[in-house]
Structure formats: C-alpha cells, structure tokens
Amino acid sequence: MALLHYWGDEGKWLSEVKDTSFFLDVEGPRNPESEWGANIRAFLAPVVEGRSEQHAQCRFPARFALMKEALGWSDGDVRQVDCPEVAAHQRKLRAKSLSVVFATHYLNNPASTFGHTMLYLGSDSNAAVMLADYSVSFEAEIGGMSPLAYLPRGLFGRLVAGYRVIPFHERVRKYEREEQRDLWLFPLKVSQGEIDQLVRHLWELKDVTFKYGFFAGNCAQKILAVVHAVAPGYEVLPYHSPAVLPSEVARRLVEQIGLAGEPVRRRSQWSQYTRRVAELAPQEKQQFKEMVASRTVFEDASPATLSAALLWSEIETPHRAFRRAAETDTHADFVWTRALWASRVAIDGATGERFSRPVEEPGPSLLQGHRPTRVKLRGGYRSGRGSVVGVEARWLLHEAVDPQVGYPLFSSMEAGRVDFGVSGAGGLFVDEATAIRIERLAPVSPLQSSLAWKIDIGARRLAHDGESPLHIGAEVGFGRGAALLRPGYLVAVYGMFGARPGAMLGRSETSFLTAGILSGGLILRLPMDFRARVSGEYSFSLFSLEGGAATLNAVTRKGLTRGVDLELAATRSPKRSGLTLGFVSFR
C-alpha cells in the first residue's frame, strides 16, 4: 500500500516511516498484509462517544478512502464517522489544481545549492497562481544550527524532517524577496480525485517525522514519494538514481504525469528589476540612474522608470534595516521609497492603470535544460604522450560553460567527476578526480556581493611540481568577480587566491603539501549558443613560496543539439601542453 510509504522487494517490505503511531498493527512497518487487516478492523470499529476525532477514519482519511474503493464499501456497509478537523483541513486548502514548484539554485546556502522542490495546491482549477493558496514542502529541522552542525548530518542522512503545509505567499517572500530566487511552477495533469486524496494524505502526515539527507531522503525524493503514495499509477517511483536532484524530480513528474498548462515563472525581485531596466529607453535609463544617485523623484519620470526605481529601492535596502528606518519616518531611503510610491500611484490614478507584476512569456525553463550526467569523449595531442584519447565522466550537475538554461550564471556545481585518458603508446593517465566542486565566479548584478569563491575536494595535478603528480586534498579560494550582461551576450571576469592542503602522490613516495593557488579567468556567452572560458592558474608551495609555475587553459563550446556540445580545449604549462577536440553528451 503506497500510502504507507513501503519500499523493497515483494515479501521484504519496509516503510520509510519509523513513527509507530503511523501504523495500526505492530508489524505494520514491515508487513502490508497485517496492516491492511488492522486498518479494516479499525475503520469498522464503533465510535467512542466524545472521541470521534481519535477514530481511525479521522486519523487516516486517505487510507479509508482507498479501502472503500478497493473493497467496494458503500455508505450502508460502513458507518461514516464525522471528522470536523479533517473537513476544516480540506476547506482550508480548497485544492483544485496541483503544480510542482522548483526554486532555483542558491549558492549562498550549501543546503540549497541544488535548488528546492515543493508542491503548489491551487484553489483555481485553471492553475492560476494565487498567493493565498498553499504549498507542500519536505523540510529538515535545522533551527538554530550552523552550517558546520547541519552539513555533516545532512550528508549522512541524520537530520529530522517532515512535510510542511504553509501559505504560498510565505514561500514567495522567502525565495523571491529574501533570497532573490526565481520560482518555476509546472501544472500537472492530475484528476480532482487524486488531488483530494493528496489533501487527505497530508493530514495523515502532519505529525510524522522522517530522516533527511542531502542526496537521498531529501526534499525532492519525498515529493516524489507523496505523489506516488496517492497516485501510484503514474509510476513516478521507483526512481533509480544515486542522488535525487530537485530539478530532475520536477522534470520526472512532468514527464510521467504531463502538463496541464504552460509553465509559470515567478521572477524574483532581481529578475523583475533587470527585466524592467532592460526595457527602459535610453533617456529613461539615464533618468533612472540620476534618481537612484540623488534619492529624488523627477516630476516627468515615466511609470516604467518609477517601477524600476521602486524595485531597486526594495532590493537595495535590507528588510530588517528598512523596518527599523521606517519607524523613525526620516531615513533618506524610506522617504525616497515613499515618494516613489506616491508618484507611481498618482500616475495609476490618473491613467486608470494598475501597477502590478507584468504578464510575460515564461521562456525556456529547466525542462529545456541539460541533464545532470555528462560524458565527454575527445582526442588530440599532448606533449610527452603524443596522440591521446580521453574520457571525462561526471555524475552531476553543471559547470560554467555548460548550456545555461535552468542553471545559475557563471557558477559550477559538480560532484563525481573523473577525467582520464590513454596515450598512443597505451599508457593510462588520470588528470582529475573530483568528489565535489562548487564555484561562484562572478556576480550578475551590482546589488550582489562581488565575492567569488570556490570549494574543491578531490585529486588533480598542480603545475608547480616537476613530476606533476596527483594532489589529493581540499581547496578553498576567495576573490572578486564582475559581470556584464547585455542582450545576446554575457561576460564575466574573476580572480581568486586559494589554499589547497593535501597529499602529493609522487612516483616514489607520498608527501604532504599545502599549495597556494592564484587563479583568474574570463567567461563568455555569445549568440548561436557559443560559450568559452579562458583561465589561468599559478600554483606554489604556500609555506616555502618556492617552485611556482603557471597553467593556462582555454575551452570553447558550441551547442550542436539540445544534449550535445562540440568542444575545443587547449592547455599550456611547463610540463603539460595539449590540444583536444571532443563531443560532450548530457544524459
């Protein structure tokens, strides 16, 4: 019975739910048949006066609805218990449509790097987005914990989590305003009966806790689980993947169930701002810049200019600081924002228009983005080895020169990457084996921090060692970045200093070394799906400051199809130079 969240092979069932109160039989977590019989007896049991809400029909309304249908029970066969709390829960959610929601990747929080998946319960059968509706999310309890405390627990699946049903406007405030993340909503082609069953099952799960892990048992996997529980016919489970990614879960639900309408993109404040500024005429842009610099409102400012200035003011001033300033009623930013609103509302009143979120075409979404697994086949020449054939395999997810749609700009989020090759003489060599790498190379707005940073755990070659052995360690780097965004092309530059402690696996012995690394680069995204990255690195022994050497790398990519790139790569260092041509396939 999917509602009990069983997994395993026939005869070897085990429920993901460990809470014994979720079962009516002591063998329930392991034995569906005994739990089924216990549920039949409990649903047919008489009601104890004054304790109707404790009856099994009120505790497990989704199971009761399933059993009535499976056993063909009519109203005359079983007495229907009055459950006012369940009825109030159904009236509150008033669900008529169901969408899967993807909150875009957020590199400022390690736990949100790969995005977030949740469900949206719409009160409109046409899947219109209303802030007063409700969202369903699976979330870990990390209140008060620092990243150093919850990251190890999340990696090993030791966090406690549960399903949370909260108003959608709270999600919008968090993602669109506080974290500046876009929300993508994909309406699913489900029946009203399936939506009603989901609402009933959420009531059953309201006090149930689960174990939470970043790669399994996470927000994405549990969203699949709750949909499968109420609608197993779509076969969204089993889902065989070593890591369950939020973006891939959204894609799987759409592929297995189907879309009931066009995807909806709710732009963050920053996305709205960049869009509005891009649409300003040259004179309006100049006027906007002068208004921002002087904190004034020009009498002849257009509605578009005022709208852009309002968005800027809301993003620029932190919410808590703004509230404190608002209490005094004299802070310059508060006075300026109030004047902007007054002017904008006055124009609305005179023209009969209304200042609201613009209706827009959603454009490409993560459904059109590349898949997380990547395989690269290449051949070429390499100094000291002659002709070479190489393979690079990556488990997940994205790097800066991969196709952009559905992923953050100028950033890399990779895990499980290995790069190796075979020389013409038959010698096998390994250039890189990465456990995890996360890079934020350049900001995409003047409102964001210009901090560029990198975390890299794994093995790779450093140029300053004469034998160029593999260095196994962890690198942390920080620096600055800047980006220029224009219609049709994007440019980013960055520079960083990092330290990489670890072990050098030499030909004769293993030695420990902390390397210092100076790096910088340029990233381009041009029309016709052409992408390039030129990067340089200078590595040296950090404590002795000796033996430094530089490496220069260049990679250019051209998209051939949605899932295939053509790549030309070149590298130059004192001990290793080469040129390769290859094909990159996303799966």
Helix (H, G, I), strand (E, B) or coil at 462: coil
Same domain? For 239 and 151 the reply is yes
Domain boundary among 302, 322, 351: 351
In-domain check, residue 357: no
The tens digit of pLDDT for each residue in 94-153 reads 999 999 999 988 877 766 778 889 999 999 766 667 888 999 998 877 676 656 666 666
Quick check: 355 pLDDT over 50?
A: no
Same domain? For 320 and 433 the reply is no
CA–CA distance, 445 with 484 (Å, rounded to integer): 8
pLDDT at residue 358, as a whole number: 45
pLDDT at residue 255, as a whole number: 93
157-179: average pLDDT: 84
Supply the CATH number for residue 377's domain.
2.40.160.40
In-domain check, residue 410: yes
The tens digit of pLDDT for each residue in 59-97 reads 999 999 998 888 888 877 788 888 999 999 999 999 999
Same domain? For 439 and 334 the reply is no
In-domain check, residue 360: no
Domain boundary among 320, 351, 382: 351
The answer to which of 38-52, 203-217, 543-557, 568-582 has the lowest mean pLDDT is 203-217
User: Which residue's structure tokens are 């430094």?
Assistant: 548
Residue/partner pairs of 565-573 with CB below 8 Å, 24 or more apart: 565/402, 565/403, 567/376, 567/378, 569/378, 573/463, 573/549
CA–CA distance, 52 with 511 (Å, rounded to integer): 71
Using a 10 angstrom Cβ sphere, with 0-12 exposed, 13-18 middle and 19 or more buried, the burial of residue 551 is buried
Helix (H, G, I), strand (E, B) or coil at 140: strand
Neighbours of 501 (CB within 10 A): 14
In-domain check, residue 299: yes
CA–CA distance, 322 with 341 (Å, rounded to integer): 15
Answer with the residue of higher pLDDT: 43 or 345.
43
For residue 397, whether the previous peptide bond is cis, meaning omega lies within 30 degrees of 0, is yes
Answer with the residue of higher pLDDT: 488 or 32.
32
**CB 486, CB 446: distance < 8 Å:** no
199-212: average pLDDT: 88
Residue/partner pairs of 237-241 with CB below 8 Å, 24 or more apart: 238/7
Helix (H, G, I), strand (E, B) or coil at 131: coil
User: In angstroms, what CA-CA distances link 406 with 187, 200, 368?
Assistant: 17, 33, 7
289-302: average pLDDT: 85
In-domain check, residue 358: no
Quick check: 509 pLDDT over 80?
A: no
For residue 476, give the nearest of 502, 442, 500 by alpha carbon. Answer: 500
Q: What is the layout of strands, in order, in the sheet containing 97-103?
A: 210-212, 159-167, 134-140, 116-122, 97-103, 183-187, 264-266
- Domain of 19 in residue numbering reads as 2-82
Quick check: 449 pLDDT over 80?
A: no
Same domain? For 25 and 113 the reply is no
Quick check: 54 pLDDT over 50?
A: yes
Using a 10 angstrom Cβ sphere, with 0-12 exposed, 13-18 middle and 19 or more buried, the burial of residue 96 is middle
Same domain? For 479 and 534 the reply is yes
**CB 366, CB 247: distance < 8 Å:** yes
pLDDT at residue 525, as a whole number: 92
Buried b (16+ CB within 10 A) or exposed e, 325-353: beeeeebeebebbebbeebbeebeeeeee
Using a 10 angstrom Cβ sphere, with 0-12 exposed, 13-18 middle and 19 or more buried, the burial of residue 569 is buried
Helix (H, G, I), strand (E, B) or coil at 504: strand
248-253: average pLDDT: 90
pLDDT at residue 585, as a whole number: 95
Answer with the residue of higher pLDDT: 46 or 520.
520
Quick check: 29 pLDDT over 60?
A: yes
Quick check: 283 pLDDT over 50?
A: yes
pLDDT at residue 556, as a whole number: 96
Same domain? For 60 and 97 the reply is no
pLDDT at residue 353, as a whole number: 47
Using a 10 angstrom Cβ sphere, with 0-12 exposed, 13-18 middle and 19 or more buried, the burial of residue 298 is middle
Same domain? For 346 and 375 the reply is no
pLDDT at residue 178, as a whole number: 79
The tens digit of pLDDT for each residue in 550-573 reads 999 999 999 998 889 999 999 998
464-490: average pLDDT: 82
Same domain? For 259 and 274 the reply is no
Q: For the residues of 271-323, what is the DSSP string, one character each?
A: HHHHHHHHTS-HHHHHHHHHHHHHT---TT--HHHHHHHHHHHHHHS-HHHHH
Neighbours of 189 (CB within 10 A): 13
CA–CA distance, 227 with 370 (Å, rounded to integer): 25
In-domain check, residue 362: no
pLDDT at residue 402, as a whole number: 94
Cα torsion through 242, 245, 251, 254, rounded to 10 = 90
Quick check: 514 pLDDT over 90?
A: no
Supply the mean pLDDT for the chain.
83
Same domain? For 547 and 570 the reply is yes
Give the count of domains, the chain: 4
Six token digits for residue 528: 């016709």
Answer with the residue of higher pLDDT: 531 or 299.
531
pLDDT at residue 64, as a whole number: 92
For residue 573, give the nearest of 503, 417, 425, 468 by alpha carbon. Answer: 468
Domain boundary among 266, 282, 303: 266
pLDDT at residue 359, as a whole number: 41
Most confident option among 2-11, 371-380, 447-456: 371-380
pLDDT at residue 152, as a whole number: 65
365-382: average pLDDT: 89
In-domain check, residue 356: no
pLDDT at residue 385, as a whole number: 79
pLDDT at residue 1, as a whole number: 61
Six token digits for residue 265: 């993109």
In one letter, which amino acid is 96?
K
In-domain check, residue 407: yes
Residues 6+ positions from 575 with CB-CB distance below 8 Å: 384, 463, 466, 468, 549
Quick check: 198 pLDDT over 90?
A: yes
**CB 369, CB 405: distance < 8 Å:** yes
Six token digits for residue 227: 């949909």
pLDDT at residue 336, as a whole number: 78
pLDDT at residue 354, as a whole number: 44
pLDDT at residue 148, as a whole number: 62
Q: What percentage of the chain exceeds 90 in pLDDT?
A: 33
Same domain? For 239 and 342 the reply is no
Same domain? For 96 and 171 the reply is yes
Six token digits for residue 378: 């290449």
CA–CA distance, 267 with 257 (Å, rounded to integer): 25
CA–CA distance, 115 with 106 (Å, rounded to integer): 6
196-222: average pLDDT: 84
Same domain? For 538 and 396 the reply is yes
198-204: average pLDDT: 94
